[in-house]
Amino acid sequence: MKLTSWITHSLVIVILSGLIFMPGFSQATDQDKPDIYTLSSIIDYALKNNPRLRISNKDIITEMYGVKTAKAERMPRVDFGSGATRYRYPMPLTPIVITGPIGPGFDFPDFEKNVYDVGGFFRLPLFKGGRLVRGVRVAEMKKSVAQDNYMATKQELVYNLTSIFYKISQLEKLLQANDATVKQLEAHKQNVEMYLKTGTVPYLDFLKTDVELSHAREKKLLVKNNLESTYELLKTLMGIDNMETPISIEHGAGSKETYAVLDESINKAFSQRPEYMAVSKKKKIYEERIKIAQGKRFPDIYAAGEYGGKAGDNIAFKENWNFGLKLIMPIFDGGLIQSEIDKEINELEKIKEEERFLKLAITREVRDARLGIMNAKERIEVTETAIASAKESLRVELLKYDTGAGTNTDLIDAQTAFLRTETDFYQALYDREVALASMRKAMGDTNN
């Protein structure tokens, strides 16, 4: 009997050892290990993979091509063309030349019904009322606006990532606190069961403890679900394609930035905020667009030339060429140019109001962020003291209940108060970090 038991035990050990050292078993363990990110590495990853930021970068490239297009409008243009035309009556392949090839006389051209032509065309704009130069300026400013929009998108992304990072940190701390509360209530429930068997506590204490334990487990589950959802949001902003990839964060020390007085912070925000710089450039763009529209009242002057040949069915081409200066002067357009000018003036007025609105919004953001920092700092100081008091109160209530001097209600109230103070403390820490991130965003700070 002992030999059979020993053989069975040995087989179990061998089988378990084989499972442990199987390649698939160890590989599954490695896959379940989450990737650990610091706040800095999260931001670096997102700056390379966030779709919205990539789109914003593509806008810069698009405007770069716009600059090249505007500059190309100032360059000469050479085209090649050819065609075949059937006429009802025979057409001359070249004009009638009064002076012949040798001496005076007439050189009559060939006449053909089927005419084939081929040649090159040249055109060079010389003057368009300043529209060529201003078009390049507008294109370059549009590119600069796209760069400002990219920086604004980047700063917003960094702010969101920072907020989510510290939210995860807060939720993980809350999960630990709720887990400790559940374990403490489970231990307390065991003590109540033991006291109930000895008849030293009423059955009502057991019911209250069980209800409070169920509530604590529910709160723990709620925090856990919120934590998982926040991690999913973080992966989305980071641009992680495989949402099943497990990740975790590495908790670091809190920020310790200090900021100048309010007026200096606001002035710095106006000089650094990319949205404000972009709207100022938009204002210059529409000032240029007004001048471009006004330039349409001036004549267009350009040089043009053509070199080509025509032939009939015998494919004997007769060459010809011409070059010269041309002028087009607008005389009457039914008010079209004036309408374009008025439209651009109205757009400029809209941009001015947008600039004014943004100025008010930036001022409010800086003030709100500064108040948030001060408020969170005061709450951290208060809740740190409250945590120490609540922890000592819980310790005393546990001792009183174990010695029979305290009530179950007082103990549960002390436990609830301790968890609440912990929650308030972690919330204050989170609010401080978010307020600091909001201040960096409001001031247009480009540092991660």
Question: Do β-strands 300-311 and 104-107 pair in parallel, antiparallel, or remain unpaired?
Answer: unpaired
Six token digits for residue 118: 């081929």
For the chain, the helix, strand and coil percentages under 3-state DSSP, each to the nearest 5 = 65, 15, 15
Question: Do β-strands 35-37 and 247-249 pair in parallel, antiparallel, or remain unpaired?
Answer: parallel
Q: Which residue has the higher pLDDT, 411 or 67?
A: 67
pLDDT at site 31: 54
96: phi then psi, degrees, rounded to nearest 5? -75, 125
Q: How far apart are CA 379 and CA 191, in angstroms?
A: 36
Altogether, the residues listed in the chain come to a count of: 448
Six token digits for residue 10: 């040995």
* For range 176-192, the mean pLDDT: 89
Q: What are the pLDDT digits (tens) for 16-50?
A: 334 333 343 334 445 568 889 999 999 999 999 99
The reply to whether the predicted model has a pTM over 0.85 is: no
> Is residue 405 predicted with pLDDT exceeding 90?
no
Please state which architecture CATH assigns to domain 35-76+129-299+334-442: Up-down Bundle (1.20)
Which residue's entry shows tokens 């050819």?
82
Residue 376 exposed, middle or buried by CB count within 10 Å (0-12, 13-18, 19+):
buried
**Confidence label for 7 from pLDDT (cuts 50, 70 and 90):** very low
For residue 375, give the amino acid letter. Answer: N
pLDDT at site 289: 94
Nearest alpha carbon to residue 372 among 447, 275, 440: 440
* For range 187-200, the mean pLDDT: 84
* For range 193-222, the mean pLDDT: 88
pLDDT at site 194: 86
> Is residue 188 predicted with pLDDT exceeding 90?
no
Q: Residue 39: left if φ>0, alpha if ψ -120 to 50, beta else—which one? A: alpha
Q: Which residue has the higher pLDDT, 201 or 123?
A: 123
CB atoms within 10 A of CB 161: 22
pLDDT at site 105: 56
> Is residue 409 predicted with pLDDT exceeding 90?
no
Chain centroid, CA 50 distance in Å: 7
Six token digits for residue 277: 């710089």
Lowest mean pLDDT among 90-99, 274-283, 336-345: 90-99
> Is residue 82 predicted with pLDDT exceeding 70?
yes
Residue 185 exposed, middle or buried by CB count within 10 Å (0-12, 13-18, 19+):
buried
> Is residue 338 predicted with pLDDT exceeding 60?
yes
* For range 183-191, the mean pLDDT: 88
Q: How far apart are CA 409 and CA 351, in angstroms?
A: 64
Lowest mean pLDDT among 29-33, 95-99, 230-234: 29-33
Q: Which residue has the higher pLDDT, 25 or 107?
A: 107
